Amino acid sequence: MNMLAEALLPSVNVEEKLFQDRYRVDVGRPHIKLRDAAVCTACKAKPCTVCCPAGCWRVAEGGGIELVVDGCLECGTCRLVCGEGNVDWNYPRGGFGILFKFG
């Protein structure tokens, strides 16, 4: 990261922001999955971990990806930035997921 940007843009706790949002989580039925976890481990760039606006994609110990979709804003970014085509992305079941109060 360029130093100037780092100095100006301190890291932000996205969970605090997501805390304001309303969700109906479809427990046990994540709407986004990795096709092959090994592909993520081998991926050096991991753009999903930077671009996801909800911080759902984290680098796990061991260099793999830890994906928790409970806070997903359903934008679809992860699927598009993945250079490996490794994101199995579906809309949540009707009525589940993010429920925007204002939008």
Partner 1 sequence: MEKFDVVVVGAGPAGNAAAYTLARAGLSVLQLERGESPGTKNVQGAILYADALEKIIPDFRDSAPLERHVAEQRMWLLDENQTCTGVSHRDARFSQQPYNRYTIIRARFDRWFSEQVKSAGALVICETTVTGLLKDDAGKVIGVRTERAQGDILADCVILADGANALLGERAGLRPAIKAEDMALVVKEVLFLPKETLEARFNISGTQGVVIEIAGNVTHGMVGTGFLYTNKDSIAIGIGCMLGDMKRQQLTPCQLLEGLKRHSAVQPLIDGAEMKEYSAHLIPEGGYRALPQLYGEGWLVVGDSAGFVNAVHREGSNLAMTSGRIAAETLIALRQAGKPFTAANLAGYKQGLDDSFVMADLKKYQGVPELLNQNPHILDLYPRFVGDAAREILTVDGVPKRDKQKKILGELARRRSLLGLLGDAYKFWRAFR
**Residue 27 sits in the site that holds partner 1 (CB under 8 A):** no
Decide whether 4 or 27 has the Cβ nearer to partner 1. Answer: 4
SS (H, E, C) the chain: CCHHHHHHCCCCCHHHHHCCCCEECCCCCCCEEECCHHHHHHCCCCHHHHHCCCCCEEECCCCCEEECHHHCCCCCHHHHHCCCCCEEECCCCCCCEECCCCC
The answer to whether residue 100 forms part of the interface with partner 1 (CB under 8 A) is: yes
- Report the residue number, 10 or 62, with the smaller CB distance to partner 1: 10
Binding site for partner 1 (CB under 8 A): 1-2, 4-5, 8-12, 14, 17-18, 20-21, 24, 45, 47, 50-55, 73-77, 79-81, 83, 89-95, 97-103
